[in-house]
């Protein structure tokens, strides 16, 4: 999928500093509607900083970041959903209530339409039957799926994922990756995933953006032109993993 036509997310010459420390220096990125982009890079290259800027959590930066044509500093961040590394669920609330937290502030979660939306999201992430469960009754993978549903509750133009599966064991991680792909394919949401896992990036994404350096810059962009559904052991994916790894200098 090309990112050249009408990008839903546009980053132009992004520069971010913390005092005298420059975290990002001249980052450019264009993501098309419905595209899945992964961002990889070594520790300290600015991956999480990039997501914080895209989400609107970091409002002080140079350059331009726009979602749906609206600068994030002028309200564009309302069209961005965020899923963190930890699920960050409310321990006292059940699954339905945790997902409802992501609804727009002016939506009454008790209204029938809102409840229907929340229940649809719970079903979408494969948790039908667990709406009344509390976080301590869920596995780690299930809790992360609640977080994913909450991130989608606002119906964002762009969904940002910050290493959401890094705390999971290998088998659970693979299962959750496939759940994510299923949700992405069914809903058509634009996704930007930050991960340190090259195999994950190549398996999931249409393109892999490699950040490098301190400050972080775009070192390479690797197109993953492999038909879906994909097999993890596909020789083409293996070759692309090697290409991304080489770009990382590993």
- State yes or no: pLDDT of 231 exceeds 80: yes
Model pLDDT, residue 6: 77
- For residue range 126-159, list pLDDT tens digits in order: 999 999 999 999 999 999 999 999 999 988 999 9
- What band does 1 get if pLDDT is binned at 50, 70 and 90? very low
224 within 8 A of 1, measured Cβ to Cβ: no
- For residue range 10-53, list pLDDT tens digits in order: 999 999 999 999 999 999 999 999 999 999 999 889 999 999 99
| CA 230/CA 44 separation, integer angstroms | 31
| CA 230/CA 199 separation, integer angstroms | 12
Model pLDDT, residue 72: 85
Sign of CA dihedral 37, 172, 181, 199: positive
- For residue range 159-218, list pLDDT tens digits in order: 999 999 998 999 999 999 999 999 999 999 999 999 999 999 999 999 999 999 889 999
Model pLDDT, residue 70: 86
Model pLDDT, residue 3: 43
- State yes or no: pLDDT of 105 exceeds 90: no
Rounded to an integer, the average pLDDT of 214-233 is: 95
> DSSP string spanning 82-108?
EE-SS----TTS-HHHHHHTTS-TTS-
**Domain ranges, ordered by start, for the chain:** 7-247
Rounded to an integer, the average pLDDT of 81-87 is: 91
Instruction: Find where tokens 């977080």 sit.
Output: 147
Rounded to an integer, the average pLDDT of 54-79 is: 84
In the chain, the N- to C-terminal Cα span, in Å, equals: 28
Model pLDDT, residue 77: 59
Model pLDDT, residue 174: 94
Provide the whole-model pTM. Answer: 0.93
Judge: domain 7-247, CATH 1.10.4080.10.
no
Model pLDDT, residue 68: 87
**For all residues of the chain together, what is the average pLDDT?**
92
> DSSP string spanning 40-71?
E--TTSSHHHHHHHHHTS----EEEEEETTEE
% of the chain exceeding 90 in pLDDT: 81
**Residues in a beta bridge with 159:** 81, 191
Tell me which of 10 and 250 has the higher pLDDT: 10
């Amino acid at each position: 999928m090309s990112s050249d036509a009408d990008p839903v997310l546009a980053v132009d010459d992004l520069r971010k500093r913390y005092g005298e420390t420059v975290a990002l220096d001249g980052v450019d990125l264009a993501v098309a509607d419905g595209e899945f982009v992964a961002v990889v890079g070594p520790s300290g290259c600015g991956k999480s900083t990039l997501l914080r800027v895209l989400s609107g959590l970091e409002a002080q930066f140079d350059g331009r970041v726009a979602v749906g044509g609206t600068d994030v500093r002028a309200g564009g961040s309302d069209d961005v959903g965020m899923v963190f590394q930890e699920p960050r669920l409310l321990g006292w609330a059940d699954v339905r209530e945790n997902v409802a937290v992501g609804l727009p502030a002016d939506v009454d979660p008790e209204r029938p339409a809102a409840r229907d939306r929340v229940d649809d999201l719970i079903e979408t992430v494969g948790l039908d039957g667990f709406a009344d469960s509390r976080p301590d009754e869920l596995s780690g993978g299930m809790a992360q799926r609640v977080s994913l549903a909450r991130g989608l509750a606002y119906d964002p133009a762009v969904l940002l994922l910050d290493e959401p599966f890094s705390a999971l064991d290998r088998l659970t991680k693979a299962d959750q990756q496939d759940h994510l792909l299923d949700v992405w394919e069914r809903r058509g949401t634009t996704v930007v995933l930050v991960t340190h896992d090259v195999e994950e990036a190549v398996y999931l994404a249409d393109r892999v953006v490699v950040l490098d350096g301190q400050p972080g810059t775009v070192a390479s962009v690797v197109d993953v032109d492999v038909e879906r559904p994909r097999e993890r052991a596909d020789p083409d994916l293996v070759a692309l993993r090697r290409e991304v790894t080489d770009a990382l200098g590993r």
